[in-house]
Chain A
Amino acid sequence: MSYDWQPLLLTFKLAGITTLILCVIGIPFAWWLSQTRIRIKPVLETLVSMPLVLPPSVLGFYLLLAFSPTHWFGGWVEHIAGLKLAFSFQGLVLGSVIFSFPFLVHPVQSGFQNLAPSLSEAAYTLGKSRWQTFLHVLLPNIKPQLLAGVVLAFAHTIGEFGVVLMIGGNMPGQTRVASIAIYDEVEALNYDAANFYALVLFGVCFTILLSVYLLNKKFLTRLGGT
């Protein structure tokens, strides 16, 4: 029996793109958050953490409203970039970025916070700019946390269900990711196909999490920690 690989491929494409975007915006944001003394910092931290506790359907519901072309945000994005966010892959990416944001930001931020401030200060006295310091001193010294953040964000996007269902609908090739496909197949009593998707997701998530733990153990031994 041949299985439809499309939902799985779509899942990994979504997780890959989401993680990439998260790295670009999430890592600098985590650094900024670890340094800033801005007064609204607790508010920002709360907002970042909200997806951890909020039911995905709540987030999905508001995103769906905002994505609607009749809403100013959805209308604005469609007008500026020509992107349709509701029930589209682009909308899924944006939703996933928001939903997986804390999974990347939290470990990376705590990594930055645990570095001695004297490390960046030493780099500054040696004539290095903030960017050079960030790239050559800070990032390489939080490798375990970076890895944890990237992998958690990736794995969490794979496991996303509620938000995707709310804002993506269930369009084959567009928004029908594996987690939705499982639900769909179960509804249609195709346990065999559901099992196929579920098994692949289980295997993939187990493997990447396991490699994180193994790699981090190696990092820590190399740095002389326990």
Chain B
Amino acid sequence: MIELYFKKKLLGAQGEFSLEVKLRIEQGEFVTLFGESGAGKTTLLRCLSGLTEPDAGSICINGETWFDSTKQTRLPVQQRRVGYMFQDYALFPNMSVRGNLEFALRKGASRQRVSELIEIMALGELQHRKPAELSGGQQQRVALARALAAESKLLLLDEPFSALDQETKVRLQDEVLRLQRHFGLTTVMVSHDVSEVYRLSKRVLIIEQGRIVREGSPAEMFGVGQASGKFSFAGEILAIEAADVVFAVTLLVGNQIVRVIATADEAQHLKPGDRVMLMSKAFNPVLVAC
């Protein structure tokens, strides 16, 4: 079990703010930190791993104190041995895939573990290649395998799927979930992808400006709990054309281009380039400027 409470001053886009969190994570739990970039999610992971030192507070893991500002306890990052997966994967370019995993082994650990991980992650064919010769998805798998090779009980994932295409993403998310359950790893993931959070974690902490503003299950945070009986999407107007008495509005929603009908009344206030909310209720779309 992880219990942490700490403060850390951060410099954000809008000036200085303070990251202040109090958190309890159960053994084997999969928790996601969700929020805008710059909200302090990565800093929280870094404080947990020991790469960044909080200004004040304490971090306890399974009864062991990793950090306590009142008692001057600071367990160095090397001794915390968390499995940390970096956003840029941070694979060592000079080592092969196997070399990267072997480097992660604890002193005296059996090399058997590397072979096991290579098999589990289906890296057999790639094991003698250098990271530069791998695709993004393959590098991601190596990074995950390396984080697991350290035999840590705590896995920290910093936006692990951000650079991947949809298909690879879904496949690797399943793999992460399987391995997390297989090894019973307490996992903290940073993400700003709603679908990812839904698939992977049971508990989401929503972080804004350094504070945990809400927490609960993904369904409570993003869905049913706040359901209002309509779909809504944020979009951008690409074009507005008059068609008889109504107007045809072409919108970019996500990566999709859709065309909807707007009344003359609605279209009057809209122009291409505007950001709008597209809401659908009983199949009649409503456009609201935002």
Instruction: Give me the interface of A with B, judged by CB distance under 8 Å.
Output: 116, 118-119, 121-129, 136-137, 140-141, 143, 222-225
Contact = CB atoms under 8 A, between A and B. Distances in A.
Contact of B106 (A127, A136, A137): A127
Contacts of A224: 130, 132-133
A127 B86 contact: no
5 smallest CB-CB distances across A and B, nearest first, come from: A224-B132, A118-B90, A140-B94, A122-B90, A125-B84
- A interface: dominant SS: helix
Contacts, number: 65
Nearest to B149: A126
Interface of B: 49-51, 77-84, 86-88, 90, 92-94, 103-104, 106, 130, 132-133, 146, 150
Given A116-B90, A121-B51, A141-B93, A126 B133 contact: no
B150 A121 contact: no
A143 B90 CA distance: 18
Given A125-B49, A129-B78, A116 B92 contact: no
14 contacts: A116-B88, A118-B86, A121-B51, A121-B90, A125-B51, A125-B78, A125-B82, A125-B84, A126-B81, A127-B79, A127-B150, A128-B78, A140-B94, A141-B92
Contacts of B88: 116, 118
A118 B94 CA distance: 15
Contacts of B132: 223-225
B65 to A, nearest CB: 19
Contacts of A121: 51, 77, 84, 86, 90
Q: Max chain B CB contacts within 10 Å: which of A116, A121, A223?
A: A121
The interface centre, meaning the residue of A126, A127, A137 with most chain B CB atoms within 10 A of its CB, is A126
Given A121-B77, A125-B77, A129-B78, 8 more contacts: A119-B92, A122-B84, A125-B83, A126-B104, A127-B78, A128-B78, A141-B93, A224-B133
Contacts of A126: 81, 103-104, 146, 150
B77 A137 contact: no
B49 A137 contact: no
Given A126-B104, A127-B106, A128-B78, A223 B93 contact: yes
